[in-house]
Structure 1
Amino acid sequence: MKLHLPPTLDALLRGAGADWPGMRLAAPDLRRWWAGNVVPGVWSFDSGLPGLHVCLVALTHGNEIAGAVVLDRLLQEGLRPSRGRLTLIFANLDAFSRFEPDDPTSSRFLEEDLNRIWDPETLEGPRRSSEIRRARALRPVLDSADVVLDLHSMLWPSDPLFLAGTSEASIPLGVSLGEPPLVVADQGHKAGQRLIDHVAARGGRSLILEAGWHWEPETVVRMEKAARRLLSVTGVVPGALLPLPAPRVARVTQSVTVRGKDFTFVQPWRGGAIIPEAGTLIARDGTEEIRTPHADCLMVMPMLLAPPGQTAVRLARIDVPEKRSARQPRREGGASA
């Protein structure tokens, strides 16, 4: 099925070399999982033995269906924890229920982005929206989690990566997963706090997996590999852990937030590109020039059509790699992290 995208968006995707052949991934039928066993869309299983509470989250954005395919698969196979607790969360079910393959970008959320409202002022304040109600319902589950992996996919061309937020404890967790081979520590968005930021503020470890383009089978494969490896690394579900090369770690040095309606990139940058020279012009925001702040600047998930107030791109510096060989990750368990 050929994608029907807004003309401006379609032109930018083509300019970035992202002329998709069409919708290559079918949305799963989640009706059997809708009720949950904790709250709607949330399935939690306790082993009865000490261990970590690990949450796998899908559909934080209702049109990012690859994660839902993975959780549907795990539930169908009857996966249960050997230690600790395992929770599978279909986050924005209301938005997902409006997913249409002919218009796949329109069901990201209903009223506001579920991944920008996880600050205490919003969660505990007077504001109301479909997404805020859902966040409040999910909060008790997430507040009890030790480890959270939030499964996302991408609209714009970019290499897959983990986002670790500001939690130093989450970086080695991403490194232990190995694939995709990039872990980025970032400060989030000015537009609002993410789910992983909320988890980190509570003392948990949390990662976003940006696993690849939306609606691609390869994205599902990456998500499932990372999810199963996480369950093995944490000891929740035993499994073989093959050694993998240590991923690169990068730290965001500047987050570019769009200020005006005339923001444009000088070219359709791809996420993962490294710009060798400091001071290279990458975008203009009205009369303001946006340039790389340092040499060997990593472009993190440029959003080629970003509205005012949203993050257009994060600029990062890759850490100098430590002298370490690929080795078997240490399994975790016992007391909560």
Structure 2
Amino acid sequence: MSCGTGSRPGASPRVRARPKFLETLPPPPPALPAFAQEITPPDLSPWLTDHCGIPGVVHHEAPRPGPHVVLTALVHGNEFAGAIVLDRLLRERIRPNRGRLSLIFANLEAFARFTPDNPIASRFVEEDMNRVWSRQILSSPRHSVELDRARAILPVIETADILMDLHSMLWPGAPLILAGATESGRRLSTMIGDPPLVVADHGHKAGPRLIDYERFADPDSPYAACLLEAGAHWTANTVETTDSAVRALLRHCGLLPAGTTPPATTCRQLMVTDIVTAHTPGFRFVRPFRGGEVIRRRGTLLAQDGPDEIRTPYPDCMLVMPNLRPSRGQTAVRLARRLPARSRI
């Protein structure tokens, strides 16, 4: 459950519940709510032919030297706001001023299965593609749709200097950039500055994400990666947030002309201290919290998990992407606190 360091030695968000509280908590809702669907999947057919030896991958290279920037969308097949933005860049014929730009539509088989009648079903086909990114897993003898596709795009990942992985959220929350555990990821995220909420974390127990791949996660590596969580999966605002973040990255790397407007706000930098996992099928929050919400008081009750209460372990505790319907063994919420000034980038 713990990831990183808590507020004090032995601090934990999980405490034994008072017996009477178990009787007063309402039962969980029986089913998922209907999610707003303001956008439709883009037509990616022009980009699925063999542009560079790998279907769904497009490269553009400038005459001037510069970094190789890689943008990945559709690592989860139902998160297509990022794919809309990459499709937009390609149709606008965006070309890098220097260096190389690679656009990757990752889990095409899952994306092809998307249906608005059951929009969450096409997150993946056989396994979560964002939990397979280690050399040990990728070189293993086992196969799946997602693992085989990860191996197919690995040659591009292995040449990336800078990578941004484009995602969105099932549950409402403030857009943010996940910087991983390295200083290079935090520096990249804060230099992008859009959105201005940067959260450092140590990933998932279920497996390494793309930004956790050794090329980026080695603290001595010169390469950097970050993960954009741009907002709710299927809303128009999420597309525009993604578009703004992508162009900010490309300007920062010199692949697009520098902007003339300075960032409106200073980045908030936080570190995940605890990962709360649902231990029972009856895990439920006391109310529908939003991602990015800051709970001011230490010891505030967040959720009930069987005989345990989940409480904030310190004041000014931010909730990172709460999953309001977690299954047993799934991450229910991550807890984060603001980095001290001496630790900020």
- After superposition, give the CA deviation of every residue in 1:251-304 in whole Å (9 maximum; x if it has no partner): 011111222222222221111111112222212222122221211100000011
In structure 1, which of residues 50, 64, 67 is the aligned counterpart of residue 79 of structure 2?
64
TM-score, with normalisation over the residues of structure 2? Answer: 0.85
Q: How does 1:258-337 map to 2 (within 5 A)?
A: 258-320=278-340
| Contact 1:190–1:311 (CA under 8 A) maintained in structure 2 | no
Q: How far has the Cα of 1:100 moved from its partner?
A: 1.1
* Pairing partner for 1:208 from 214, 227, 238: 227
Equivalent-residue separation in structure 2 for 1:112 and 1:150 (angstroms):
18
Distance 1:96 1:208, change over 3 A: same
- Cα distance in 1, alignment partners of residues 141 and 167 from structure 2: 29
1:155 alignment partner, one of 170, 174, 178:
170
In 1: Cα distance, 2:276 partner to 2:322 partner: 10
Offset at residue 36 of structure 1 (A) = 4.2
2:44 is aligned with 1:25: no
1:303 is matched by which residue type in structure 2? Answer: N
Q: Determine the structure 2 residue equivalent to 1:229.
A: 248
Instruction: Give the superposition deviation at 1:157.
Output: 1.2
Identity of aligned residues (%): 52
Corresponding residue number in structure 2 for 1:9:
32
Counterpart residue type for residue 216 of structure 2? A
Give the 5 Å matches for 1:116-155: 116-155=131-170
For the Cα contact (< 8 Å) 2:174–2:231, is it kept in 1? Answer: yes
With normalisation by structure 1, the TM-score equals 0.87
Letter in 2 for 1:177: I
Count of equivalent residues: 309
Contact 1:299–1:316 (CA under 8 A) maintained in structure 2: yes
The reply on whether 1:197 has 2:221 as its aligned counterpart is: no
Q: CA deviation at 1:308?
A: 2.4
Q: CA deviation at 1:108?
A: 0.6
**In 2: Cα distance, 1:315 partner to 1:36 partner:** 43
Deviations 1:302-327 (A, max 9, x none): 011112232111100012458x9xxx
In 2, the alpha carbon distance for the partners of 1:119 and 1:226 equals 26
Residue aligned with 1:260, SS: coil
Q: Tell me the residue number matched to 1:34.
A: 48
Following superposition, the deviation at residue 61 of structure 1 comes to: 0.6
CA shift in 2, pair 1:241/1:169, >3 Å: farther
Q: What SS does the corresponding residue of 2:78 show, helix, strand or coil?
A: coil
Letter in 2 for 1:108: R
Change (3 A) 1:151 1:98: same
Q: Distance in 1 between matches of 2:73 and 2:270?
A: 25
C-alpha separation in 1, matches of 2:321 and 2:151:
28
Matches within 5 A, 1:81-96: 81-96=96-111
Deviation at 1:44, TM superposition (A): 1.1
Letter in 2 for 1:200: F
Q: Which runs of 5+ in 2 are unaligned?
A: 1-28
1:186-240, Cα deviation, whole Å (9 max, x unpaired): 1111111100111423632111111111111111111111111111101122232
2:261 corresponding residue in structure 1: 242
User: Are residue 49 (structure 1) and residue 64 (structure 2) matched?
Assistant: yes
Contact 1:190–1:257 (CA<8 Å) still a contact in 2?
A: no
Per mean C-alpha deviation after superposition, the further-off stretch among 220-229 and 305-314 is: 305-314
The alpha-carbon deviation at position 78 of structure 1 amounts to 1.2
Q: What CA distance in whole angstroms lies between the structure 1 residues aligned with 2:293 and 2:129?
A: 28
Q: 2:201 aligns with which of 186, 201, 209?
A: 186
CA distance in 1, matches of 2:149, 2:278: 28
Write the deviation string for residues 42-68 of structure 1: whole angstroms up to 9, x where unpaired.
111221322111011111110111111
* 1:162-186 deviation per Cα after TM superposition (whole angstroms, max 9, x unaligned): 0001011111221122221200001
8 Å Cα contact 1:163-1:210 kept in structure 2: yes
Report if the CA contact (8 A) 1:229-1:241 is conserved.
no
1:334 match: none
Kindly state the Cα deviation for residue 8 of structure 1 after the two structures are TM-superposed.
1.1
In the alignment, the residues of structure 1 paired with residue 234 and residue 132 of structure 2 have an alpha-carbon distance, to the nearest angstrom, of 25
Which ranges of 4 or more aligned residues in structure 1 deviate by more than 4 Å? none
- Residues in 2 aligned to 1:117 and 1:263: alpha-carbon distance in whole angstroms: 27
Partner-residue secondary structure (3-state), 2:31 = helix
Query: For structure 1, which runs of at least 5 residues remain unmatched after alignment?
Result: 1-5, 11-18, 325-337
Structure 1 Cα separation of the partners of residues 167 and 241 of structure 2: 11
Distance 2:30 2:278 in 1: 21
Partner of 1:332: none
